[in-house]
Chain A
Amino acid sequence: MNAGERLTDANFPAHPEKATLEGKNKFLGFWLFLGGETVLFATLFGTYLGLRNMHLDGPSGEELFSLPLVFLATMLLLTSSLTSVYAVLSLKQNKVRSLQGWFIVTLLLGLGFLGLEIYEFIHYVHEGHTFTSSAFGSSFYSLVGFHGAHVLFGILWIATLLGRNWNRGITLANAPKYYLFALYWHFVDVVWVFIFTVVYLMGKVG
């Protein structure tokens, strides 16, 4: 069977994302890539932990951070992870329209998160907390900004993926791609959980 052919309920494999060698390779390769990404964020976290109290004359994290706003952003992103799970469940049941719907919700929630983050950053800059104001500023924007860039990339990714495959159903070629995006999105979500804890909660308690 050609990998680009639309799957029917009759020939639908149990794990369409791993039904071809190419799919298996992508699946494993992407897990490994996320292992590397973990080191990348760990290094950024380490840098932030080393410099988070170095705010000099500028406002400290305790003065800056507003937990209600961050809580809202967290809820948006956690919910988007849930909706991407629903999308993957639809993938496994060969329900392509439902998959598209859930991924669009995921995308919109991601956009909402990004909007809040941009609002938050602009607010901080007005408070005098900028990328160049102190070592705290540099490390804060690097860590949180790297995460934000990952969210942005994920949004571009899923938009391209949905657009390209809008009328193609689920195939052995695109099933691994949907699945990998969901993996990526969960990873970005987990990183945010750590950012929420290490940056915002620990920032608030001093």
Chain B
Amino acid sequence: MATHESHKKRSGLMDWLTTVDHKKIGILYLLAGGFFFLIGGLEAVLMRIQLMEPDSKIFTGELYNQLLTMHGTTMIFLAAMPIIFGFMNAIVPLQLGARDVAFPYVNAVGFWLFFFGGLLLNLSWFLGGAPEAGWTAYAPLSTVAEDTGVDFYVLGLQIAGAGTLAGGINFLVTIINMRAPGMTFMRMPLFTWASFVTSGLILFAFPALTVGFFLLMFERVFDANFFNPDMGGNVLIWEHIFWIFGHPEVYILILPAFGIISEIVSTFSNKRLFGYSAMVFATVLIGFLGFMVWVHHMFTVGLGPVANSIFAVATMAIAIPTGVKIFNWIFTMWGGQIRFTTAMLFAVGFIPTFVMGGVTGVMLSVPAADYQYHDSYFVVAHFHYVIVGGLILGLFAGLYYWYPRMFNRVLNETLGKWNFWLFFIGFHLTFFPQHWLGLMGMPRRVYTYMSGQELDGANFVSTIGAILMGAGTIVLLINIVISASSKYATTKDPWDGRTLEWAMPVPTPEYNFAQTPLVRGLDALYVEKTAGNGEMTPAEPVGEIHMPNGSILPFILSLGMFIAGFGFIYANWIVAIAGLGLVLITMFLRSVIDDHGYHIHKEEVEADIKGGRA
């Protein structure tokens, strides 16, 4: 066999900048997402400090608006989604029994676009001020703002969004095309199913946002008139486009959390997931319905009773598949041998918390009642119950659960329990009182309130809770530092896992599976354990393994977008064209330089197997 292969082994920083290994990209996503999570959390705590006392003057006016805009934007686009992508990268190919993702190069492009987009957005703090039009950037608030904050918002998120879309397509193709022999769709672990549906939602929701951002950018940079009523424009177009994206986005966020919880509840109850096929169906149905409910964010706009009623009914319908999931988790635990590890604590804490967010969601779906709740702290309480109480608890659970697979070490369980209780109690202290604040009329997005309106006590409690959540997060950081500095390596299967990601040694070999495994049922590893094999049966003999080469081009391409972003923000066309030129040159180079990857030879794989490394 004549192969023209060249393979450069890179090390250190260069290895991380050029990697196309999904396991390393997963770690990059997790680190970058975690970093933005800390920034977003800091912004939240600063806001709560301002609201701790009535008539407080610490962060007022424009600065407060910047904090709230950047908190929402950062948490949604730069923290939650990248952390989800981190787990998807690290775990989905392993759960499928795949050697790699479908498009390793595109995967790297996706990460670096997100990273540079997030960097661009956050640099606004130092370059004339952050955006202040809210994470929804409603026109005309966003179109008339004089400073460059909104320009950073629109370009930073445009670049990051392109990366997300690339990642979504990559995972759809990976899941459809790269499953191991025997891994039928109805044998896929629930996290992989959730990643599949989430990727589909990304594919069909993000392009709407892409157009929205283009329109807003054209409006601000090129004086277009989409949203300017004086010139025939219509501000509602922005709201529609934003929420046509924005509501599916909510399910893009929560479905992976549902998947994580399903894995953890099943593993730590020592039971197969109750109602697996109903869980799959519910996941798909939630994804489908997620596209038909966007107007519930716009009930008070005045689209009329018919439109409002239709979207209200569609919104309420989502409670049904979600309820199916809740009951299935409870029935999975019913009669199981439950182990309360930290991951399981977060999963169990998730269930009632998310139900509370769901109940207020159904309350908000009633248009007549929504006129009362709209733009009040009741809404803030609702979506933090589903996003923090739902998604973030799910992500913490996933972190404790998959940390050994990703980093070859377990996190300390005692510190983990401190992490859970501080964060969980802090969370409820922060957001539970906000329901009442909202019902008493406290508007969201306003930097202060007056004393003597019975708002003082609940606001004070809420701030204390936010500080506890911060303390819980600091405990997690300490836990990570301790585990990183300890020499203790984990075993390959620390939780008595049921799915394929626990079937290979630690550290995970770069080719994942020395021999592609044969999947013989749902919970593939558990099937083999009960059959007395203990490990997977291979589906192929040991052979050469084809691997993709690393490349610096994804980094350079994203750098080009970053530079072009600055050009558009400051209307400097030379810089903009130079940046876009760099992007085109990178694409050209990728096209004309043949890169067929390299092979790991059979002898090396056999040596790895003998040495217990594969």
A residues within 8 Å of B by Cβ?
2-4, 21, 24-25, 28-29, 32-33, 35-37, 39-40, 43-44, 46-47, 50-51, 54-56, 131-132, 134-139, 142, 156, 160-161, 164, 173
Contact = CB atoms under 8 A, between A and B. Distances in A.
B489 interface: no
Given A131-B222, A131-B224, A29 B596 contact: no
A160 B588 contact: yes
B340 interface: no
B306 interface: no
Given A29-B103, A164-B592, A21 B207 contact: no
A2 B1 contact: yes
A46 B239 CA distance: 13
B592 A39 contact: no
Interface stretch (B212-220, B345-353, B355-363): B212-220
Interface in B163-209: 165, 169-170, 172-173, 176-178, 203-208
Given A25-B173, A142-B218, A32 B203 contact: yes
A138 B233 contact: yes
B301 interface: no
Given A43-B244, A131-B224, A135-B233, A3 B169 contact: no
Contact of A56 (B1, B211, B214, B232): B232
Given A39-B207, A138-B219, A139-B226, 12 more contacts: A25-B173, A32-B172, A36-B203, A36-B206, A40-B207, A40-B211, A47-B215, A47-B241, A50-B234, A54-B234, A132-B222, A138-B226
A134 B592 contact: no
Contacts of B146: none
Nearest to A137: B225
Contacts of A44: 211
Contacts of B591: 160-161, 164
B1 A43 contact: no
26 contacts: A2-B1, A2-B4, A4-B4, A4-B596, A21-B177, A24-B177, A28-B176, A29-B170, A32-B172, A36-B165, A36-B204, A36-B206, A39-B204, A43-B208, A46-B237, A47-B241, A131-B223, A132-B224, A132-B225, A134-B232, A136-B232, A138-B218, A138-B219, A160-B591, A164-B592, A173-B594
Contact of A37 (B205, B207, B232, B234): B207
A35 B203 contact: yes
Nearest to B211: A43
B2 interface: yes
Contact of A25 (B103, B208, B225): B103
A55 B232 contact: yes
Contacts of A135: 225-226, 228, 231-234
A32 B286 CA distance: 20
B3 interface: yes
Interface in B554-607: 584, 588, 591-592, 594, 596
Contacts of A51: 226, 232-234, 237
Contacts, number: 119
Contacts of B165: 36
Nearest to A2: B3
Contact of A36 (B169, B222, B237, B594): B169
Nearest to B199: A32
Given A35-B203, A51-B237, A160-B592, A29 B169 contact: yes
Contact of B226 (A47, A56, A160): A47
Nearest to B202: A36
Contacts of B211: 40, 43-44, 47
Interface pairs A-B: 4 shortest CB-CB: A54-B232, A135-B232, A138-B224, A40-B207
B210 interface: yes
A131 B233 CA distance: 13
A132 B223 contact: yes
B553 to A, nearest CB: 15
A107 B173 CA distance: 30
A132 B228 CA distance: 11
B2 to A, nearest CB: 6
Contacts of B173: 25, 28-29, 32
A55 B231 CA distance: 8
B284 interface: no
B388 interface: no
- Residue among B1, B165, B215 with most chain A CB within 10 A: B215
A39 B222 CA distance: 24
A43 B211 CA distance: 7
A28 B241 CA distance: 27
B230 to A, nearest CB: 9
Nearest to A38: B207
A142 B588 CA distance: 26
Contacts of A4: 4, 594, 596
Contact of B207 (A36, A47, A160): A36
Interface in B225-268: 225-226, 228, 231-234, 237, 240-241, 244
B251 to A, nearest CB: 16
Contacts of A164: 591-592
Contacts of A136: 232
Interface hub of B203, B204, B207, B237 (most chain A Cβ within 10 A): B207
Contact of B215 (A24, A29, A142, A156): A142
